[in-house]
């Protein structure tokens, strides 16, 4: 069974139609804006995702070369720029850098979990190279989902398969706001798990070592060798920030697999994390080589006792079928109420066609549906002002519909999503389905970063 057949069978044409690569690197100024951009919304939304230079129908979606799409908003209007992150000749050295793009220590970093971060200069046609050695992150793996601690400005990270492909060693550490490495330790896990995301609180790190297991003896021709083996049992690794990896506390994980963690916090002696849980991970085969299921996904709240005495617990959250969750990240690591995600109608296969805000306590949702043929990105929350109240801000998402023949950047008032976008920027080309991105205030591609 090829991954291509799995993808097409399980996810249907609607999900793959906006997966096709674009072939041009464009710069577009003075873009058409429908509605009115909020006057204070100044900066650049960077989005990263796979965009293979040479499309290969049998290659896994996760393995395409990263392309960054940047939409800059400001008093002068809106502009767009897209570039492959890594020059073609450097992919073997730097990796594909296709999953996320963040700023830390004054540098833009394109991330993909099997490689070191790649510095990305938005004014250049491609990457400038790997992270400088002064940052001491070397070529070891570095998650695409490091977490900024809003209290300290630190960046907490991990990397699985840290002792080489398929190894069971996980590295975990912290970069100071300057980018300097201030903590690193190693954890020995029961197996090599694809750990896509992490939970971080002011004092602890939790890594979901779930049973999507990598083994060298089942790699496909593109080098992917992960399969779902729930019989091995998932584990949760709890570690004090700054601690020694040998002190890790292990818990049996609740059933299922999660790519993404919404947020985590500590309360009453427990660490809580909200996450989006699949019965089994989509896009991957089972351990016996059989087809995985498309898998339903639902939000859950997991928790573990901080003293290690007791078990992991599961609580349900209001139901929504979606992915790519975000919060108001000024408050990451403390208990949130609202989260935002790309969503789809229950029971429907395919991509995501709506933007939803969920209230985890009341179960109240607020949603805007772009239409069932649409494909919508992760919604990125941008506070209305640096000191705005929690959840007072804008949601930025890139949406595509076949009848538009291009993509649009949709700007929502995060408090009134169902009212539809307050502004839509018509982009000069289609933006293929991607993974993650961030809004960097006052960043202007082509003029360096302010
Ligand atoms: Fe992700």
- 260 carries a ligand binding annotation: yes
CA of 373 from ligand 1 middle (Å) equals 23
List of E strands, 318-392: 322-326, 338-343, 354-359, 365-369, 375-376, 380-383
3-state secondary structure 53-122: CCCCCCCCHHHCCEEEEEEEEECCEEEEEEEECCCHHHHHHHCCCCCEEEEECCEEEEECCCCCCEEECC
CA of 113 from ligand 1 middle (Å) equals 9
CA of 324 from ligand 1 middle (Å) equals 7
- 148 carries a ligand binding annotation: no
Distances (CA, A) of 397 to 341, 376, 415: 10, 7, 15
Domain ranges of the chain: 139-441
CA of 144 from ligand 1 middle (Å) equals 7
CA of 382 from ligand 1 middle (Å) equals 19
CA of 66 from ligand 1 middle (Å) equals 13
The CA distance from 404 to 430, in Å, is 9
* DSSP labels, 383-445: ESSTTPPTT-EEEEEEEE-GGGSSEEEEEEETT-GGG--SEEEE-SS------EEEEEETB-T
CA of 232 from ligand 1 middle (Å) equals 23
Which pLDDT does position 139 carry in this prediction? 58
The CA distance from 240 to 302, in Å, is 18
**Residues 258/197, Cβ–Cβ less than 8 Å:** yes
- 291 carries a ligand binding annotation: no
Which pLDDT does position 120 carry in this prediction? 79
What are the pLDDT digits (tens) for 339-381? 999 999 877 777 899 999 999 999 999 999 999 899 999 999 9
- Locate 189 and state its tokens: 């896990």
Handedness of CA 301, 200, 113, 190 (dihedral sign): negative
Q: Report CA 116 to chain centroid distance, whole Å.
A: 16
What are the pLDDT digits (tens) for 136-189? 566 579 999 999 999 999 999 999 999 999 999 999 999 999 988 999 999 999
**25 closest CA partner among 63, 58, 74, 65:** 65
User: H/E element holding 377?
Assistant: none
CA of 321 from ligand 1 middle (Å) equals 16
Which pLDDT does position 125 carry in this prediction? 58
CA of 62 from ligand 1 middle (Å) equals 10
CA of 260 from ligand 1 middle (Å) equals 6
Distances (CA, A) of 121 to 1, 144, 346, 352, 398: 40, 18, 40, 30, 22
CA of 315 from ligand 1 middle (Å) equals 23
Count Cβ atoms below 10 Å from residue 145 Cβ, excluding itself.
21
Which pLDDT does position 325 carry in this prediction? 98
CA of 205 from ligand 1 middle (Å) equals 17
CA of 338 from ligand 1 middle (Å) equals 19
CA of 398 from ligand 1 middle (Å) equals 16
Name the β-bridge partners of 417: none
CA of 304 from ligand 1 middle (Å) equals 23
CA of 218 from ligand 1 middle (Å) equals 23
Which pLDDT does position 150 carry in this prediction? 97
CA of 75 from ligand 1 middle (Å) equals 32
For the chain, 450 residues long, the average pLDDT of each consecutive 10-residue run is 33 59 93 96 96 80 89 94 88 89 92 90 67 62 97 97 95 93 96 98 98 90 84 98 98 98 98 97 88 84 97 96 97 98 82 95 94 95 96 98 96 98 98 96 59
CA of 79 from ligand 1 middle (Å) equals 26
Domain 139-441 CATH class label: mainly beta
CA of 114 from ligand 1 middle (Å) equals 13
- 115 carries a ligand binding annotation: no
CA of 77 from ligand 1 middle (Å) equals 30
**Residues 29/414, Cβ–Cβ less than 8 Å:** no
Which pLDDT does position 350 carry in this prediction? 72
CA of 436 from ligand 1 middle (Å) equals 6
CA of 40 from ligand 1 middle (Å) equals 28
Region of 316 on the Ramachandran plot (φ > 0 left; ψ -120 to 50 alpha; else beta): beta
CA of 35 from ligand 1 middle (Å) equals 31
User: H/E element holding 10?
Assistant: helix 3-17
CA of 258 from ligand 1 middle (Å) equals 10
CA of 208 from ligand 1 middle (Å) equals 14
Which pLDDT does position 13 carry in this prediction? 36
């Amino acid at each position: 069974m090829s991954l291509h057949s799995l993808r097409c069978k399980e996810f249907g044409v609607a999900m793959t139609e906006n997966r096709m690569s674009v072939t041009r690197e464009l710069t577009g100024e003075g873009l058409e804006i429908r509605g009115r951009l909020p006057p204070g919304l100044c900066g650049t939304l960077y989005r990263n995702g796979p965009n293979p230079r040479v499309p290969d129908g049998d290659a896994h979606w996760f393995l395409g070369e990263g392309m960054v799409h940047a939409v800059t908003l400001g008093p002068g209007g809106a502009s767009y720029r897209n570039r492959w992150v890594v020059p073609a000749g450097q992919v073997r050295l730097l990796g594909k850098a296709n999953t996320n793009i963040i700023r830390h220590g004054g540098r833009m970093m394109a991330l993909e979990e099997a490689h070191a971060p790649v510095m990305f200069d938005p004014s250049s046609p491609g990457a400038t190279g790997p992270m400088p050695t002064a940052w001491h992150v070397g070529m070891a793996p570095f998650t695409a989902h490091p977490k900024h601690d809003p209290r300290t400005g630190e960046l907490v990270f991990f990397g699985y398969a840290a002792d080489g492909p398929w190894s069971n060693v996980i590295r975990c550490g912290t970069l100071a706001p300057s980018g300097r490495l201030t903590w690193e330790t190693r954890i020995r896990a029961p197996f090599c798990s694809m750990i896509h995301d992490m939970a971080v609180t002011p004092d602890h790190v939790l890594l979901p070592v779930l049973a999507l297991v990598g083994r060298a003896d089942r790699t496909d021709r593109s080098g992917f060798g992960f399969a779902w083996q729930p019989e091995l049992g998932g584990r949760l690794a709890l570690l004090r920030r700054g601690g020694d990896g040998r002190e890790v506390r292990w818990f049996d994980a609740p059933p299922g697999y999660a790519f993404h963690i919404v947020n985590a916090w500590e309360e009453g002696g427990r660490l809580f994390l909200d996450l989006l849980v699949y019965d089994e991970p989509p896009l991957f085969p089972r351990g016996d080589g059989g087809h995985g299921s498309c898998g339903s996904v639902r939000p859950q709240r997991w928790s573990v006792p901080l003293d290690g005495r007791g078990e992991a617990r599961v609580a349900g959250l209001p139901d929504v079928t979606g992915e790519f969750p975000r919060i108001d990240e000024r408050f990451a690591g403390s208990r949130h109420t609202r989260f935002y995600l790309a969503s789809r109608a229950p029971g429907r296969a395919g991509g995501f066609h709506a933007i939803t805000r969920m209230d985890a306590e009341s179960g109240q949702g607020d949603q805007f549906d772009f239409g069932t043929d649409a494909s919508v990105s992760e919604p990125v929350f941008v506070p209305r002002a640096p000191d705005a109240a929690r959840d007072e801000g804008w949601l930025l998402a890139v949406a595509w519909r076949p009848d538009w023949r291009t993509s649009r950047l949709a700007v929502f008032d995060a408090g009134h999503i169902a009212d539809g976008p307050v502004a839509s920027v018509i982009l000069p080309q289609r933006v293929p389905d991607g993974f993650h991105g961030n809004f960097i205030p006052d960043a202007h591609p082509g003029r360096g970063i302010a």
